[in-house]
């Protein structure tokens, strides 16, 4: 493990040349302050988790440039809410470079909110502290749930007010990702009629992320297949945990299927298939139950940029795999939530009727599964309170469920253990994130960010003790009535 000044920067993206980015240094931020540092993510870039943090405010604000970093703003385009926007690009974030860790893997080291670039389109190049806190916690919450996501390394506040609805403080998140290359990077070169640059991007991704395909004559097909499959699995994970991304534009999807660019995201509280977490999404294009189909649509748009490399019918064939991979992953995840391992047709019917019941009764989606596990040890009270009334279809469902449990042939204790290992007790409820934000903004007290992080990095287990004021019952309770279905706006 290395100190912060000795990270192994490799900077492969730079080698693609100036058509792909603007070389740009961060704009210094006034009086930066380190709010959070995620020791768990440090080894991803070979950084010693116990490193001295004195210099970190300077480093993670971009004020001090690390030796080896070659910061750049990528150019990309993308479909936003279904409409093509020809020129986006990194307007407020910079890739400092790719850093190799001790296992020989590398991660992109990226600062989000570090000042204007050529692609800022008149915006200020900054991010609000509130959205930065949400992004910092959101990435780690999904990681804790075992989903594929970009990671948070650090969160810095800077002493500048920026203007949204009101003047407010700004923040910078250091994001680590397997890649920052988005569907939108491909679209930019496709729509500006430079297929040779699309090919170079594809070659770059294959060489560095799918090296086993490099020599294969079908490599472009296999590469597209890889993207289709990773994306399908990522979204199946979202659907299983009740996560709404909020802005599934093609510029917010990376080629490696990591959940990316956390903006107005949200975890569903009461089950509602039409849940819209993004207040700006007036037509519900990115509503919870639309996410799987939007993932497919985005992949179709990516496929269009590859037409000079892959025949149309082959592209279609590969895209058709999306639903198969999605369904398999989703069923496996739902089976695990129900403590089942046999995911056959009977299970599918059980799952479908469960979703009908959940939509009708709208219990807290996360806690429903913990209560279902509890009911196996005799506590059915909490579970039944979730349902408005004990209707016949509810009883039928429990009978069907018991029948499938019997096939598993395990004792109740193992059953409960299995279920509690697959169903989180803690999720990042919007109102909890908001409490952390309010405390940070009003009292410069950042301790709630740390408390939430501690819970969310291990969301399946109760904390061993209630140090630091962590009360498991409080943090795992259903969202209180006034805060249910909270939406967050895009403009942060
Ligand atoms: P996002 O909503 O963060 O995915 O951003 C969409 C596009 O708008 C990207 O090209 C961003 O770089 C750009 N953008 C968003 N907010 C800002 C800002 N405050 N300053 C500059 N560019 C921004
Ligand atoms: Mg974005």
Q: Which atom of ligand 1 is nearest to the CA of 127?
A: 19
pLDDT of amino acid 486 = 87
Cα 400 vs. chain centroid, distance in angstroms? 34
Per annotation, catalytic residue among 108, 251, 269, 281: 251
Q: Which residues pair with 74 in a beta bridge?
A: 21
Report pLDDT for 414: 92
**Total length of the chain:** 492
Q: Would you state the pLDDT for residue 377?
A: 85
Which residues in the chain land under pLDDT 50? none
Which positions ≥6 away from 389 have C-beta within 8 Å? none
- CA 236 to ligand 2 center in whole angstroms: 21
The answer, yes or no, to whether any atom of ligand 1 lies below 6 A from the CB of 266, is no
Q: Which residues contact 284 (CB under 8 A, 6 or more apart)?
A: 274, 276, 290
Written as six digits, the tokens of 275 are 């849940």
Which among 153, 156, 174 is positioned nearest to 42, based on CA atoms? 153
User: Of the bound ligands, which one is closest to the alpha carbon of residue 251?
Assistant: 2
pLDDT in tens, 66-97: 999 999 999 999 999 999 999 899 999 999 99
Cβ(125) to ligand 1 under 6 A? yes
- Work out which ligand 1 atom sits closest to the CA atom of 90: 12
Q: Is the CB–ligand 1 distance for residue 91 below 6 Å?
A: yes
CA of 43 to the centre of ligand 2 (A): 26
Q: What pLDDT shows up at residue 246?
A: 97
Distance (Å, whole) CA 82 – CA 250: 9
Q: Is the Cβ atom of 292 under 6 angstroms away from ligand 1?
A: no
* Token representation of residue 485: 């279905």
Residue where the block lists tokens 């700006």: 280
Ligand 1 pocket test, pick from 73, 87, 91 with the greatest ligand atom count within 8 Å of Cβ, gives: 91
Cα 114 to chain centroid distance, Å, stands at 21
Question: Among 159, 181, 176, which Cα is nearest to 168's?
Answer: 159
Cα angle, residue 424 at apex, residues 421 and 427 outer, rounded to 5°:
160
Residue 150 Cα, ligand 2 centroid: separation in angstroms? 13
Question: Encoding tokens for residue 144?
Answer: 């804790």
pLDDT at residue 465, as a whole number: 64
Q: Which ligand is nearest to the CA of 120?
A: 1
- Smallest CA-to-CA distance from 303 within 323, 320, 327 is with 320
Measured in whole angstroms, the distance separating CA 359 from the mean position of its chain's CA atoms is: 24
With a 6 Å cutoff on the Cβ, whether 175 touches ligand 1 is: no
In this structure, the dihedral spanned by the alpha carbons of residues 433, 435, 437 and 440, taken in order and rounded to 10 degrees, is -140
**End-to-end alpha-carbon separation of the chain, Å?**
35
Q: Evaluate: CB of 118 within 6 angstroms of ligand 1.
A: no
Structure tokens at 32: 């930066």
Block residue for tokens 């019997």? 406
The ligand minimizing its distance to the Cα of 119 is: 1
Which one of the ligands is nearest to 246 CA?
1
Helix (H, G, I), strand (E, B) or coil at 449: helix
CA of 273 to the centre of ligand 2 (A): 25
Helix (H, G, I), strand (E, B) or coil at 372: helix
Beta carbon of 90 within 6 Å of any ligand 1 atom = yes
User: Residue 118 in 3-state DSSP?
Assistant: coil
Nearest atom in ligand 1 to 126's CA: 19
Q: Which atom of ligand 1 is nearest to the CA of 76?
A: 10
Sketch the domain layout of the chain as residue ranges.
4-180, 184-335
Residue 28 Cα to ligand 2 middle (Å): 22
List of residues 6+ apart from 464 with CB closer than 8 A: none
Distance of CA 248 from the midpoint of ligand 2 (Å): 9
Query: Of ligand 1's atoms, which has the minimum distance to the CA of residue 88?
Result: 10
Report the SS3 class of residue 160. strand
- Three-state DSSP state, 38: coil
Atom of ligand 1 nearest to the CA of 490: 2
DSSP reduced 3-state for 158: strand
For residue 251, how far is its CA from the centre of ligand 2 (angstroms)?
6
- DSSP for 74-104, please give it: E---EEETTEEES----SSEEEEEEEE-TTS
**CA 217 – ligand 2 centroid, Å:** 33
CA angle, residues 231, 293, 82, in degrees to nearest 5: 95
Q: What is the pLDDT of residue 362?
A: 94
pLDDT at site 318: 98
Q: What is the pLDDT of residue 467?
A: 66
Residue 251: active-site member: yes
Residue 466: its pLDDT value, please? Answer: 62
Pocket test for ligand 1, best of 113, 123, 158 (most atoms within 8 A of CB): 123
Which residue's CA is the closest to the ligand 1 atom numbered 12? 91
């Amino acid at each position: 493990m290395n100190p912060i000044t000795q990270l192994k920067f490799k900077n492969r993206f730079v080698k693609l040349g100036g058509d792909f980015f603007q070389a740009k240094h961060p704009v210094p931020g006034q009086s930066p302050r380190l709010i959070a540092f995620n020791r768990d993510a440090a080894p991803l870039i070979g950084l010693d988790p116990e490193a001295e943090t004195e210099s970190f405010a300077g480093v993670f604000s971009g004020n001090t440039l690390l030796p080896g970093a070659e910061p750049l703003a990528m150019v990309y385009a993308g479909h936003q809410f279904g409409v093509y926007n020809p020129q986006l690009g990194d307007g407020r974030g910079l890739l400092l470079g790719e850093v190799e860790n001790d296992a020989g893997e590398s991660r992109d080291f990226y600062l989000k909110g570090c000042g204007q670039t050529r692609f800022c389109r008149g915006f200020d190049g900054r991010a609000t502290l509130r959205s930065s806190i949400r992004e910092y916690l959101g990435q780690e919450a999904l990681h804790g749930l075992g989903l594929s996501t970009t990671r948070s390394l650090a969160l810095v506040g800077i002493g500048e007010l920026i203007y949204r609805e009101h003047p407010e403080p700004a923040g910078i998140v250091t994001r680590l990702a397997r890649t920052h290359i988005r569907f939108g990077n491909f679209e930019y070169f496709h729509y500006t009629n430079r297929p040779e640059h699309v090919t170079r991007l594809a070659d770059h991704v294959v060489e560095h992320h799918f090296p086993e395909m490099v020599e294969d004559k079908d490599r472009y097909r296999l590469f597209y297949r890889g993207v289709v499959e990773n994306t399908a699995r990522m979204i199946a994970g979202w659907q299983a945990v009740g996560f709404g991304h909020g802005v599934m534009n093609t510029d917010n999807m990376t080629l490696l299927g990591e959940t990316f660019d956390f903006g107005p995201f949200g975890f569903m509280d009461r089950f509602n298939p039409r849940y819209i977490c993004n207040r700006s999404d007036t037509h519900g294009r990115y509503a919870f139950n639309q996410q799987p189909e939007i993932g497919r649509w985005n992949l179709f748009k990516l496929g269009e940029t590859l037409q000079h490399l892959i025949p149309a019918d082959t592209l279609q064939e590969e895209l058709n795999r999306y639903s198969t991979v999605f369904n398999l992953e989703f069923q496996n995840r739902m089976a695990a939530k129900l403590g089942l391992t046999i995911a056959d047709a009977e299970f599918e019917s059980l799952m479908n009727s469960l979703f009908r019941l959940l939509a009708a009764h709208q219990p807290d989606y996360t806690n429903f599964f913990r209560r279902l596990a509890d009911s196996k040890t005799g506590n059915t009270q909490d579970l039944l309170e979730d349902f408005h009334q004990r209707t016949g279809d509810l009883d039928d469902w429990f009978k069907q469920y018991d029948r499938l449990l019997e096939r598993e042939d395990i004792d109740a204790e193992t059953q409960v253990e299995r279920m509690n290992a697959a169903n989180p007790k803690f999720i990042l409820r919007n109102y909890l994130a908001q409490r952390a934000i309010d405390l940070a903004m009003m009292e410069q007290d950042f301790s709630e960010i740390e408390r939430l992080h501690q819970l969310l990095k291990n969301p399946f287990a109760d904390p061993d003790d209630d140090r630091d004021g962590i009360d498991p019952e409080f943090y795992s309770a259903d969202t209180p009535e006034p805060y249910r279905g909270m939406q967050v706006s895009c403009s942060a």
